[in-house]
């Protein structure tokens, strides 16, 4: 596992580098990832707008900020993501904001399809669901992992699928509204909760 993580870290990007990569691809009419389609490009464009808004409006919960400021040893927070992923667009700005609360945290991002060996270690019910956050100690050992979405958001989708048989556009809109109303609080609390 450690060698897989270290290999991924060598291919990782900072948050700002990730944003530049996604934006550049959009300007070329492409999305990140192996698959290309009009839908994935559309989702990537929507996510650009979401991330810009979140970067301006998100605020850390005081208790979360305090927990992060009390971290005593260096950590790397490694996120597995793709630019077209709606959950990633909602969650990455939250994790970035959290990482900025402590100089002990270094945030790195890898693209899922470019890091399949790593992704395969963190499947959700057999699926390559993203984003996934891996908390690593200063020696790149895995402390814990989280994702692809907060518990309440996960339950929203599970219940919708149970009632309707599929996750359609209505479900995706309901999920985005959930994220909007939550303001990142569930994600923040779940991540700091697994740190203790």
Tell me if the domain spanning 2-148+186-195 has CATH number 3.20.20.70: no
pLDDT tens digits, one per residue of 139-160:
999 999 999 999 999 999 999 9
Total-model pTM: 0.95
On whether the CB atoms of residues 150 and 182 are closer than 8 A, the answer is yes
Does 165 have pLDDT greater than 90? Answer: yes
pLDDT for 196 equals: 63
pLDDT for 195 equals: 83
In 3D, which of 38, 37, 122 has the Cα closest to residue 79? 122
* Token representation of residue 71: 């971290």
Domain ranges in the chain? 2-148+186-195
* Token representation of residue 177: 């509204």
Helices (DSSP H) in 33-115: which residue ranges? 38-57, 62-69, 86-99
């Amino acid at each position: 596992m450690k060698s897989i993580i270290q290999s991924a870290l060598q291919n990782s990007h900072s948050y700002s580098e990730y944003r530049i990569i996604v934006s550049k691809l959009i300007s070329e009419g492409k999305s990140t990832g192996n698959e290309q389609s009009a839908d994935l490009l559309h989702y990537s464009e929507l996510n650009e707008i979401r991330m810009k808004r979140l970067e301006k409006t998100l605020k850390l919960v005081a208790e979360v900020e305090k927990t992060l400021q009390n971290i005593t040893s260096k950590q790397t927070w490694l996120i597995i993501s793709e630019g077209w992923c709606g959950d990633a667009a909602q969650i990455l700005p939250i994790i970035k904001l959290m990482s900025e609360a402590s100089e002990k945290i270094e945030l790195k991002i890898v693209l899922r399809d470019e890091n399949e060996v790593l992704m395969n270690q963190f499947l959700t019910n057999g699926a390559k669901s993203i984003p996934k956050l891996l908390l690593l100690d200063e020696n790149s050992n895995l402390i814990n992992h989280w994702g692809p979405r907060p518990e309440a958001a996960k339950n929203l989708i599970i219940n919708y699928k149970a009632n309707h048989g599929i996750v359609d556009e209505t479900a995706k809109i309901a999920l985005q509204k959930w994220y909007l109303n939550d303001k990142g609080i569930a994600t923040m609390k779940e991540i700091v909760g697994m740190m203790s």
